[in-house]
Amino acid sequence: MSLVNFTAREITCKIVYYGPGRSGKTSNLQYIYGRVPQDRRGKMVSLATQSDRTLFFDFLPIDLGSISGFTTKFQLYTVPGQVYYNATRKLVLQGADGVVFVADSQARRFDENMESLQNLQENLLAEGTDIREMPLVYQYNKQDLPADLIMSPSELDDALNFRSVRSFSSDCLHGSGVFETLKGVSELVLRKLAAGAPA
């Protein structure tokens, strides 16, 4: 749920990067963090473990400047990819204004993508949110790998993207598709926010 501070004329929105372990969620935030000017971003917090790079969450507030006289900030989080951290996933997902589902394009990781997507839907339902009402985009990461190892974006759309929401091909390590994905989900979040604003 976005926070609107009328006194400070500031809107803060929360975007959560969701997906299986090692799909590229943290790599997205690291790439964004490294390229956003220092005066437009806060401190990034990242907690690494042996089994998964993000045990709790990454938090990266990005100042997008002024929209309708309000300063707009996005707080970017990632959830841990491993299923046994589901309590933490639920906690991080609470109050999300938008979700980026980061799928690993490797064919051998397909089952993990499906499991994580189902888990996302279950966790949203548990907090009373229908996934169809959530601003959501898909990112198909690791599209830079050899073609015989990965599923194409159209194959991934057919298999995962039941609602035909926007999807983006990416290579998070080199930045391809990273900002396009962030822009795509940000536009959806702001559109929903504007639609719900009082006239």
Q: Tens digits of per-residue pLDDT, 112-133?
A: 999 999 999 999 999 999 999 9
Q: What are the tokens at 117?
A: 């997507």
pLDDT at 51: 57
Q: Which residue has the higher pLDDT, 190 or 156?
A: 156
Domains of the chain, each with CATH number or no CATH: 3-194 (3.40.50.300)
Look at residue 55 in the predicted model and tell me its pLDDT.
45
Sequence-distant (6+) residues with CB within 8 A of 157 are: 138, 164, 167
- Is 39 or 178 the better-scoring residue by pLDDT? 178
CA 21 – CA 193 distance, rounded (Å): 30
Q: What is the mean pLDDT of residues 63-69?
A: 76
Q: What does the alpha-carbon distance between residue 72 and residue 98 come to, in Å, rounded to a whole number?
A: 15
Confidence grade of residue 32 (pLDDT, cut at 50, 70, 90): very high
* Cα distance between residue 1 and residue 98, in whole Å: 9
Between CA 13 and CA 197 the distance in angstroms is 14
